[in-house]
Amino acid sequence: MLTIFTTPKAFRGHIDVIQRNALESWVRLAGTRDKNTAGLKPAATGAQIEVIVFGDEEGAAEVCREMGLRHEPQVERSASGTKYVRTIFGRAQEIARHDVVAYVNCDIVLTNDFARAVARVSGQFKASGKFLMVGRRWDTDIKAPLDFSAADWGERVRALAREQNHRQSQDWIDYFVFPRGMYREIPALVIGRVGWDNWLVWKARSEGAAVVDATDEVMAIHQNHDYGYHPQGKQGVWQDEEAQRNYELAGGVRHIYSIDDATHRLTREGIGPNPGYRLAPTRRALRRGRTAVWHAILGATRPVRHALGIRKTKPLSGS
């Protein structure tokens, strides 16, 4: 039914834990592991799942062997070592066993609600052959391996996410489900910097694809982590030279789309139009204006705040 592809960071420390959690959760969309046979018992959704891992990061080959995942170590990289979106998406669509594929960030835990949503959306738009399913994520503190031996592991991790109650805004997009062959030409965007995910939404819209917001029906659980993989931390991911290059290659602000730009929504009742998508550009402009004003205020008041020992606080969220 579905090929999921991803690219990890080195399997070390906390990142090792959360990436293993994510990968194991995807495998289990196809069923639960049988301890006696080392195989899988079929899932209630009847899903067939293939997982492809791109990159030769430390531990990747070993984890793929251990979990029975397909490993593609060779990936085109920039001079600084970041991976190009075009090679990962291009190769994945060439070798996928299934006609529906999904790129998922390697820190996202998925449960059976994801498989059900994929089946509903792909079935709805099978005739047109053009769709993109995206959704907001739930940021969750998970420090230890999940207990996948528990029959209710999915319910447990969803309950933890609901308890922490931090669903990210529409700008954070961590999974993309689409028919194989939809993304044929991708500029030299790199994964691990901002902008490439927003461009994918714009690209789908520009080609007339239905973009479906599955937030209401899919709880995509993002396991919180630091940004130690970048010398400048989170700021570097957002503002370094490659981040700025991504922004330029994406076409600037005109092509920085979000989940707000989805033309459809998936709900319990079915898939329906999302009239609010026409207002997405206006909402983006308002958010940018508010951010600009906030930074101007911070700049003007910095000497006074420093003299008084006052730290800056975050502006109110627009989500």
Same domain, 265 and 302: no
* Cα→Cα distances 113→50, 109, 187, 192, 276, Å: 17, 11, 32, 27, 25
Same domain, 180 and 287: no
Same domain, 132 and 151: yes
The range of the structural domain enclosing residue 303 comes to 279-319
Same domain, 11 and 39: yes
Pairing assessment for the beta strands 108-109 and 49-54 based on DSSP bridges: unpaired
Domain of 116, CATH number, reads: 3.90.550.10
| Cα–Cα distance, 189 to 85 (Å, whole number) | 6
- DSSP classification of residue 84: B
Structure tokens given for 81: 């070592």
Q: What is the pLDDT of residues 159-211, one digit of tens each?
A: 999 999 999 999 899 999 999 999 999 999 999 888 899 999 999 999 999 99
Same domain, 24 and 93: yes
Q: Please answer whether residues 158 and 221 qualify as being in contact, where contact means their C-beta atoms are separated by less than 8 angstroms.
A: yes
Same domain, 100 and 222: yes
Run of H or E residues at 34: strand 31-34
Q: What is the pLDDT of residues 24-77, one digit of tens each?
A: 999 999 765 544 434 444 454 556 899 999 999 999 999 999 999 999 999 999
- Could you say which of 273, 290, 307 is where a domain stops? 273
For the chain, what is the domain count?
2
pTM: 0.84
